[in-house]
């Protein structure tokens, strides 16, 4: 497919002159030139039908191979860490200087390196987002609340020095690896390559590797958790504050494979979210944040009676999964006779672990609280200050990991998508979506086997952008795309996923950017057949009629899409690809000699898609500074024969370069002989399916910078073909498409209009479209005298007061006598109300909306769009507005997507209800019952198969505090009597 584009100014004239410019000479000459060249090489052309089922399987196999290399690297790290620990003897007085990433390259007042600092070589590296790194050495990050000279830290750092060689070896074997790391259960974080860690504005490092999803998921199996919090009168003040912080910290340790609920108790039992009564809900980001808001509203009152709350918790868990189940009891004391609850619901199997958190400095009821944990295979901790919360909450993860550690089950886990900027607080942050693969590290020492000691977690990151390069855009067609989802139905990668929003001049992640469900972007899948099949890990195909938005959601296209999907083995991910019927069904393959193609590829007006992978430049560090065109040329000339290149894509690119080569000479001639060029043409450019673009400025200055790296909508990117290319592909062959590009920098009173001309060629051996659509674009700049001409034309058409417009097929104003009406937004509501049959509204696009000063909240947002019905050549009618009425006339401008609209302006309809309101924007409001139904509804999901909740060798005596407490009956009642006396 080829697309030609020019920018152009409309000259002075009248309406017939405007229409005549639709049949401008330039694009026709362009078409003839290219078609003539195409005829010369037509014998070397063939058209193949794309087999979607084979293609998705091929992509999935390549992704599986790539991800498999990452898993292999992580396994080697885990083995090395376990061996290093096995042969390391703990030394309480060990002294060892290491590179602390916060302190490296810093000196004291005397110019001497600070302790744990020293000189640490850093060099900017293209592969690591141009961040300054040390690829020969890892270094250590320690959270501010962890003492960096603690014996546990020093011994762990010393032991893990053995990972340095493994980091380097992994990177040499697989240069596409990014960050590799070891997160220790003691709190330190070893990162390769080493970097300078930047604290926040307060000089604090809050990052704790043990809070990260990759650590938590690798350390435990999926879990069902009931948090039970005491809100009796004794929990007032600081105790309640600590309790709330404890709940929030527990919630932060949960993920999408976990389920949760929160119960508060005093004299009676209540759910903090009544809608979730009697059930468990997925611990996804939305539910966790919702719980946190409700927890903040808790207040204390009455007497604490834990027995009923525990009974309610067991009833819920008895209907849950058969994997890890836990009750988290947060209280300042337990005074009742609660033993019979455990006898009835949990003994003797003790399937549900109970973790207890004693809040406050008072230790009167410590023995009771310990007894509950120790007799239910849990763990007891005492939290007297806010600073104690983090470390004490993390203990429960170590207990849950014991069966897995004892059995040495090294499950590999993959995380949901996340922003790497969360990890690195640096100016070089790339804001790329990532996924992590991680694996637990266990102690193999026989003397500690029954205790199941988790040493930490090793992992590496995978940029999803690099993974999606394995599904090249040119193989999927103009509207086709690939996407990835998790076992929970959440999107890992999708061209319609918009994870960022703008706050001022900064881009920030949306609160729920990594928990967007597939049904929210593939919303035509109303019965969720596609989502259900993919979540279950099935392989298959599905057909859907879809409406897709382009031009940042302002325009719509109707497509018929075939969906092909399959699972990526050894991962929780599923891959889907979309092929649109028509241009997505076939691929156009041409063949020319390397010599001829290389000659034309070196033309100064030519470039190729910078985000596409023509040649892999990230394997050899020597190639990382090459752009794609440089890499292609060096490969084809034999200067870099070891480059890995996509032969089929190079073949298409060379063919396109040869076929479009006449454009350079033609455009040069136009520049030298302006008399042969239509008045006002400024710039021309051409695009092909192979990502090739030719660009020629026909004047020294342009009204704005064009096709810049920031103007992604007009570029070939990893996610999509340019807007002008996609729209041209769906427009009738041989006609012209005008539209207003979205431009932030356009001056008032000026309009730039792109004009598209398409030509579809049918190959002699097939009746299918050949993907060789020729498109021509113009940009038009309307200065003052053109507006004056248009105003005169409107007045000439009627003696009455009228409004005149030239609009495109989506209702955007290209020309108006009111300059403020001309913009890259559709015509205002008062001008289009009742033009039924010509334009119709269509709601599409789900997004998040934020008013100034509001908290960013996800909501259902509707952007109705107008689409012109081309069968209507001319129409007129009456608009009734209360006590007055006015006439409008709409006429189609031949061979284009433009319409002339004339409306009487003497009747104001702006205050009356309207049939069409172009930018209706609202958040859906539900009544309480509907909202509750939506919150309780849980989509189909696939929980990880592995589960490690029990091992007969587990030492449950290690339950916190001093040691196992066997609470005798006499001691138990003594505690109760004492409790009654002090109360």
What mean pLDDT is predicted for residues 888-910?
78
Q: Output the CA–CA distances (angstroms, integers) from residue 53 to 48, 570, 581, in the order listed.
A: 15, 20, 15
| Region 483-512 average pLDDT | 86
Q: How confident is the model at residue 728 (pLDDT cuts 50, 70, 90)?
A: confident
- How does residue 911 score in pLDDT terms, banded at 50, 70 and 90? low
Band of pLDDT at residue 39, cut at 50, 70 and 90 = confident
Enter the DSSP assignment of 273: S
As a whole number, mean pLDDT of residues 704-725 equals: 74
Distance CA(232)–CA(979), nearest Å, equals 15
Distance in angstroms (rounded) separating the CA atoms of residues 128 and 479: 31
User: How high is the pLDDT of residue 217?
Assistant: 93
The pLDDT of residue 927: 60
Quickly state the pLDDT bin for 925 (edges 50, 70, 90).
very low
Please state which of the ranges 183-197, 366-380, 965-979 shows the lowest mean pLDDT: 965-979
Residue 955 burial by CB count (10 A; 0-12/13-18/19+): exposed, middle or buried?
middle
Least confident of 66-75, 81-90, 201-210: 201-210
Point out which residues pair with 647 in neighbouring strands.
none
Tokens standing for residue 555: 């325009």
Q: Are 757 and 735 in contact (CB under 8 A)?
A: yes
Q: Is the pLDDT of residue 734 over 50?
A: yes
Query: So what's the pLDDT on residue 17?
Result: 43
- What is the C-alpha to C-alpha distance for residues 464 and 460, in angstroms, rounded to an integer? 13
For strands 259-265 and 223-230, give the pairing: parallel
When mean pLDDT is compared over 34-43, 180-189, 972-981, the highest value belongs to 180-189
**In whole numbers, what is the pLDDT of the chain averaged over residues?**
81
Q: How far is it, in rounded angstroms, from Cα 213 to Cα 211?
A: 7
What confidence tier does 32 reach under pLDDT thresholds 50, 70, 90? low
Distance CA 843, CA 547 (A): 10
pLDDT at 652: 93
Span 415-431, average pLDDT: 60
Residue with tokens 């504050």: 241
Q: Which range, 384-388, 723-727, 931-935, 967-971, is most confident? A: 384-388
Do 692 and 653 meet the contact criterion of CB atoms below 8 Å apart? yes
Pair 477, 579: CB distance under 8 Å: yes
Q: What is the pLDDT of residue 512?
A: 81
Using one digit for the tens of pLDDT, what is the confidence trace for 341-373?
999 999 999 999 999 999 999 888 899 999 999
**What pLDDT sits at residue 336?**
75
Q: What is the token pair recorded at 610?
A: 């910078």
Is the per-residue pLDDT at 646 higher than 80? yes
Each residue of 782-814: pLDDT tens digit? 444 444 555 566 655 545 577 778 888 888 887
- Minimum mean pLDDT range among 102-106, 129-133, 688-692, 761-765: 761-765
Q: Is the pLDDT of residue 599 over 60?
A: yes
Give the pLDDT confidence score for residue 839 in this predicted structure.
Answer: 38
Would you list the DSSP string of 410-452? ---EE---EEGGGT--STT----EEEEEEEEEE---GGGGGGT
Q: What predicted TM-score, i.e. pTM, was given to this entire model?
A: 0.87
The structure tokens 């090395």 sit at: 80
The percent of residues in the chain predicted with pLDDT above 70, rounded, is 77
Q: Averaging pLDDT over each range in 196-210, 529-543, 678-692, which range is the top one?
A: 529-543
pLDDT of residue 363: 87
Q: Who contacts 335 (Cβ-Cβ below 8 Å, separation ≥6)?
A: 304, 365, 368, 975, 976, 979, 980, 983
Q: Is the pLDDT of residue 951 over 70?
A: yes
pLDDT of residue 843: 64
Query: Tell me, what's the pLDDT at 42?
Result: 75
pLDDT exceeds 70 at position 770: no
Query: 411 Cβ partners below 8 Å, 6+ apart?
Result: 218, 221, 404, 439, 440, 944, 946, 948
For the ranges 547-551, 573-577, 678-682, 909-913, the lowest mean pLDDT is seen at 909-913
Maximal C-alpha separation, the chain: 109
Q: Is the pLDDT of residue 214 over 90?
A: yes
Q: Looking at residue 668, what is its pLDDT? A: 76
How do residues 102-156 score in pLDDT, each as one tens digit?
A: 999 999 999 999 999 999 999 999 888 888 999 999 999 999 889 999 999 999 9
Between 600 and 846, the higher pLDDT residue: 600
Backbone φ and ψ for 38, nearest 5 degrees, come out as: -60, -40
Which band of pLDDT confidence, cut at 50, 70 and 90, is reported for residue 819? low
| Confidence band for 644, pLDDT divided at 50, 70 and 90 | very high
| Higher per-residue pLDDT: 249 or 515 | 249
Q: Is residue 107 classed as helix, strand or coil in its secondary structure?
A: strand
Count the neighbouring beta carbons within 10 Å of the beta carbon of residue 593.
11
Residues for the chain: how many in total?
A: 983
Spatial separation of the C-alpha atoms in residues 323 and 411, rounded to whole Å? 15
Residue 48 pLDDT > 70, yes or no? yes
pLDDT at 130: 85
Per-residue confidence (pLDDT) for residue 764, from 0 to 100: 45
Distance CA 383, CA 362 (A): 10
Torsion of CA 516, 522, 528, 532, to 10 degrees: -60
Would you state the pLDDT for residue 845? 35
User: By C-alpha distance, which of 335, 399, 568 is closest to 951?
Assistant: 399
Nearest to 498 by CA among 687, 286, 713: 713
Per-residue pLDDT at 916: 36
Percentage of the chain exceeding pLDDT 90 = 50
pLDDT of 239 strictly over 80: yes
50 pLDDT higher than 80: yes
Dihedral sign for Cα 270, 276, 277, 282, please: negative
């Amino acid at each position: 497919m080829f697309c030609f584009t020019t920018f152009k100014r409309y000259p002075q004239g009248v309406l017939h002159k405007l229409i005549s410019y639709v049949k401008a000479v330039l694009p026709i000459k362009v078409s003839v030139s290219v078609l003539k060249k195409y005829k010369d090489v037509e014998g070397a052309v063939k058209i193949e039908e794309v087999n979607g089922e084979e293609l998705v399987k091929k992509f999935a196999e390549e992704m599986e191979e790539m991800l498999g290399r990452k898993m292999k690297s992580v396994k080697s790290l885990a083995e090395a860490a376990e061996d290093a620990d096995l042969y390391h003897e703990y030394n309480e007085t060990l002294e060892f200087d290491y590179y602390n990433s916060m302190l490296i390259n810093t000196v004291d007042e005397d110019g001497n390196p600070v302790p744990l600092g020293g000189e640490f070589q850093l060099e900017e590296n293209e592969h690591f987002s141009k961040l300054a790194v040390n690829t020969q050495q890892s270094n250590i990050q320690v959270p501010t609340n962890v003492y960096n000279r603690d014996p546990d830290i020093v011994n762990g750092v010393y032991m893990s020095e053995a990972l340095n060689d493994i980091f380097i070896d992994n990177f040499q074997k697989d240069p596409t690896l990014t960050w590799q790391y070891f997160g220790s259960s003691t709190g330190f974080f070893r990162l390769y390559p080493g970097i300078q860690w930047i604290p926040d504005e307060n000089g604090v490092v809050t990052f704790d590797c043990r809070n990260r999803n990759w650590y938590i998921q690798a350390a435990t199996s999926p879990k069902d958790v009931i948090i039970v919090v005491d809100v009796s009168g004794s929990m007032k003040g600081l105790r309640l504050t600590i309790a709330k912080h404890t709940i929030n910290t527990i919630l932060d340790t949960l993920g999408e494979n976990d389920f949760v609920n929160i119960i508060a108790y005093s004299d009676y039992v209540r759910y903090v979210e009544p809608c979730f009564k009697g059930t468990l809900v997925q611990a996804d980001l939305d539910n966790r944040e919702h719980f946190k808001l409700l927890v903040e509203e808790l207040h204390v009152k009455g007497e604490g009676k834990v027995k009923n709350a525990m009974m309610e918790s067991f009833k819920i868990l008895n209907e849950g999964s058969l994997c890890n189940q836990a009750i988290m009891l947060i209280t300042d004391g337990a005074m009742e006779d609660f033993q019979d609850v455990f006898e009835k619901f949990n003994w003797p199997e003790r399937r549900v672990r109970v973790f207890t958190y004693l809040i406050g400095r008072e230790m009167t009821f410590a023995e009771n609280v310990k007894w509950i944990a120790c007799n239910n295979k849990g763990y007891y901790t005492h939290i007297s200050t806010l600073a104690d919360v983090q470390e004490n909450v993390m203990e429960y993860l170590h207990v849950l990991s014991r069966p897995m550690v004892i059995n040495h089950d090294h499950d590999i886990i993959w995380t949901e998508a996340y922003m790497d900027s969360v990890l690195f607080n640096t100016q070089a942050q790339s804001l790329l979506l990532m996924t992590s693969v991680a694996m637990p590290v266990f102690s193999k020492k026989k003397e500690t086997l029954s205790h199941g000691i988790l040493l930490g977690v090793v992992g590496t990151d995978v940029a999803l952008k690099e993974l999606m390069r394995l599904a090249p855009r040119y193989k999927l067609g103009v509207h086709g795309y690939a996407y990835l989802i998790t076992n929970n139905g959440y999107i890992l990668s999708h061209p319609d996923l918009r994870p960022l929003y703008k706050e001022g001049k900064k881009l920030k992640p949306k609160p729920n950017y990594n928990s967007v469900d597939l049904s929210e972007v593939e919303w035509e899948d109303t019965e969720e057949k596609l989502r259900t099949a993919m979540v279950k890990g099935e392989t298959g195909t599905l057909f859907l009629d879809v409406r897709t938005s382009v031009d940042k959601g302002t325009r719509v296209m109707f497509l018929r899409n075939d969906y092909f999907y399959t699972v990526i083995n050894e991962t929780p991910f599923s891959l889907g690809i979309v092929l649109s019927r028509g241009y997505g069904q076939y691929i156009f393959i041409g063949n020319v000699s390397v010599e001829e193609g290389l000659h034309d590829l070196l033309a100064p007006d030519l470039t190729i898609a910078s985000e596409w992978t023509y040649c892999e430049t990230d394997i050899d560090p020597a190639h990382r500074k090459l752009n794609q065109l440089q890499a292609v040329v060096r490969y084809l000339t034999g200067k870099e024969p070891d480059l890995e290149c996509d032969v089929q894509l190079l073949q298409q690119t060379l063919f396109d370069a040869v076929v479009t080569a006449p454009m350079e000479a033609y455009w040069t001639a136009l520049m030298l002989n302006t008399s042969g060029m239509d008045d006002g043409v400024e710039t021309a450019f051409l695009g092909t399916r192979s990502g090739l673009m030719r660009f020629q400025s026909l004047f020294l200055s342009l009204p704005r910078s064009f096709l810049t790296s920031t103007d992604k909508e007009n570029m070939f990117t990893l996610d999509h073909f340019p807007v002008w290319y996609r729209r041209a592909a769906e427009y009738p062959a041989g006609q012209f498409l005008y539209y207003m590009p979205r431009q932030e920098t356009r001056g008032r009173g000026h309009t730039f209009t792109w004009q598209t001309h398409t030509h579809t060629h049918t190959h002699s051996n097939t009746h299918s479209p050949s993907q060789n659509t020729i498109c021509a674009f113009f940009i038009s700049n309307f200065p003052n005298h053109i507006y004056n001409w248009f105003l005169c034309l409107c007045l000439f058409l009627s003696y009455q007061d009228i409004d005149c417009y030239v609009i495109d097929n989506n209702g955007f104003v290209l020309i108006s006598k009111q300059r403020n009406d001309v913009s890259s937004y559709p015509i205002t509501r008062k001008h289009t109300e009742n033009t039924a049959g010509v334009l119709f509204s269509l709601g599409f696009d789900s997004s998040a909306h934020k008013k100034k000063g509001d908290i960013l909240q996800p909501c259902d947002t509707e952007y109705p769009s107008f689409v012109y019905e081309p069968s209507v050549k001319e129409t007129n009618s009456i608009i009734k507005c209360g006590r007055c009425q006015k006439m409008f006339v709409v006429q189609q401008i031949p061979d284009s997507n433009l319409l002339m609209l004339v409306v009487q302006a003497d009747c104001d309809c702006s205050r009356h209800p309207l049939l069409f309101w172009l930018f209706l924007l609202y958040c859906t409001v539900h009544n309480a019952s509907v909202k509750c139904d939506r919150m309780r509804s849980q989509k189909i999901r696939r929980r990880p198969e592995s589960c490690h909740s029990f091992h007969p060798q587990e030492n449950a005596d290690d339950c916190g505090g001093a040691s196992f407490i066997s609470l005798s009956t006499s001691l138990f009642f003594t505690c109760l009597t004492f409790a009654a006396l002090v109360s």
